[in-house]
Amino acid sequence: MTGTCALATGTHVLRSLERPRALWLRVQDGLPVELTIDGAAHPVACIEETWLVECERWRQSISRRYFVVSTADGLRHTIYHDRVADRWYAPDM
């Protein structure tokens, strides 16, 4: 596959990481506090994990802050903030 990155962990199936879904959310002090999914608001109950990915070896610089969040209604998602473009994405939705 030319130009495509994929991730395989444990028993998960390979999935393309090339085109994540743009995400609308409310942020407070740089942290996600509410996700909007299909027009419905989902307050963030807990940020379970966060990490930073930075790379300058590619054609474009990459600087992303990832979050694993749980919402008040029981959803769990990995989301990230593209710090270069200042946009939020959800690779797992």
Q: Tens of pLDDT along the chain (93 residues)? A: 334 344 444 444 445 555 778 889 999 999 999 999 888 999 999 999 999 999 887 677 889 999 999 999 999 999 999 999 999 998 866
Q: Which positions ≥6 away from 3 have C-beta within 8 Å?
A: 18
| pLDDT at residue 8 in the model | 41
| pLDDT at residue 1 in the model | 34
The DSSP symbol for 59 reads S
pTM of the model: 0.74
| pLDDT at residue 93 in the model | 67
Residue 66 exposure: Cα atoms within 13 Å on the Cβ side: 12
- Give domain limits for the chain: 20-90
Q: Which positions ≥6 away from 10 have C-beta within 8 Å?
A: none
| pLDDT at residue 60 in the model | 79
**What b/e sequence results for 30-66 when a residue is b if at least 16 CB atoms lie within 10 Å of its CB, and e otherwise?**
eebeebebeeeebebeeeeeeeeeeeeeeeeeeebbe
| pLDDT at residue 77 in the model | 92
| pLDDT at residue 21 in the model | 82
